[in-house]
Amino acid sequence: MQKVAIVTDSACDITEELQRQWDINILNFAITVDGNCYTERVDFTPQQYYDILRTASGIPSTAHITMFQFLELYGSYDEQGYTDVILVTINATGSATNDAAQLALRQFKAENPESTLNVHIIDSRTYSFGYGGPVCRAAEMIAEGRPVEQVITYLKDTFSRVEILLTAYTLKYIKQSGRVSAAAAFAGDLLGLRPIISLIDGESVVRSKVRGDKQVLPALVRYAKDHKDGQTPYSIGTTNWENGERLAALCEQEMGYPPERVFYLGCAITTNTGPDAIAIVYQGPSRG
């Protein structure tokens, strides 16, 4: 009989409610802001992090989940008699977390040759609820008794489709993150331009620019509607709940069905966009 653990990291933006509901183990990132070290999901909520960002004098830095943390994790599940661990990580090109998990697994196998624990490490290729949502569905599938292989196939197929479309209402933080040049950020803020940015397989691309805050939501909906694959589920990520609900209503009006959920954007996204941002997470065509 299979005994399966679902594990991910805190950049997934899964709510505490969903975490408890589906018994998901979330490993928390450490974040340093102005010399102060915090643990995501422990020391602050997303809303509190927005306030930290607004008053920070420097760019926050994030420490990846370490190899030693993963070694302890594998050992614990092995001792508890688990047959499988499905571990989904933040996009591997943007964090060393996936590499640390792989290195730890090789060492664990070398040190425990008799272990029958199967560890399946999956690179989500994305951020935020782009993998948080599929991880919740994977946990639900395990609860339904689905085979591990079927769950892994579902995750890999979904991650080959996930796209995130977002914008920030100020370019200060995007300039600091290097997503746009300082000159472009200055000119953009001066002219009231808002970049519509896609995140696909870890790569950020400015798809268009709109002038004025009122044009942001319609532009997001137009692009997502044109690039979304059929009637697949989508979600809204936001730093402002009322704005998120406005985008959800507009999406439902244009797409014909509501988002799966509205959620608060966490550190992985907002460290780069700043505390005034909004996003649509959806599935496009498969990229293989």
How far, in Å, CA of 65 to CA of 203, rounded? 22
Count of CB atoms situated within 10 Å of the CB of 276: 20
User: What confidence tens digit (pLDDT) does each residue in 234-251 have?
Assistant: 999 999 999 999 999 999
Asked whether the predicted pLDDT for residue 182 surpasses 50, the reply is: no
b/e burial code for range 59-97 (CB count within 10 A of at least 16 → b): ebebebbbbeebbebbbebbeeebebbbbbbbbbebbbb
Average pLDDT over residues 176-186: 54
More confidently predicted of 191 and 15: 15
pLDDT of residue 215: 96
Asked whether the predicted pLDDT for residue 266 surpasses 60, the reply is: yes
Asked whether the predicted pLDDT for residue 47 surpasses 60, the reply is: yes
pLDDT of residue 183: 44
Asked whether the predicted pLDDT for residue 177 surpasses 70, the reply is: no
% pLDDT > 90, the chain = 84
pTM for the complete prediction?
0.94
Write down the domain spans for the chain: 4-29+64-159, 162-283
pLDDT confidence bin for 171, thresholds 50/70/90: confident
For the segment(s) 162-283, the CATH number from 1.20.1740.10, 3.40.50.2300, 3.40.50.150, 3.30.1180.10 is 3.30.1180.10
Asked whether the beta carbons of 234 and 218 are under 8 A apart, the reply is no
Asked whether the predicted pLDDT for residue 19 surpasses 80, the reply is: yes
pLDDT of residue 190: 62
User: What confidence tens digit (pLDDT) does each residue in 81-122 have?
Assistant: 999 999 999 999 989 999 999 999 999 999 999 999 999 999
Matching residue, tokens 């990846």: 64
User: Cβ-count burial of 18 within 10 angstroms (0-12 exposed, 13-18 middle, 19+ buried)?
Assistant: buried
Q: Among 102-111, 187-196, 206-215, which is the least confidently predicted range?
A: 187-196
3-class SS at 10? helix
pLDDT of residue 187: 60
DSSP H helix total and E strand total for the chain: 11, 13
pLDDT of residue 263: 98
More confidently predicted of 22 and 175: 22
User: What confidence tens digit (pLDDT) does each residue in 50-79 have?
Assistant: 999 999 998 899 999 999 999 999 999 999
- State the angle between helix axes of 148-159 and 129-143 in degrees (0 to 180), rounded to the nearest 10: 160
CATH superfamily, domain at 4-29+64-159: Dihydroxyacetone kinase; domain 1 (3.40.50.10440)
Own/partner long-range contacts of 45-50 (Cβ < 8 Å, ≥24 apart): 45/264, 46/13, 46/239, 46/264, 46/265, 46/266, 46/267, 46/270, 47/264, 49/266, 49/267, 49/270, 49/275, 50/239, 50/270, 50/275
Asked whether the beta carbons of 119 and 39 are under 8 A apart, the reply is no
pLDDT of residue 156: 98
pLDDT of residue 268: 87
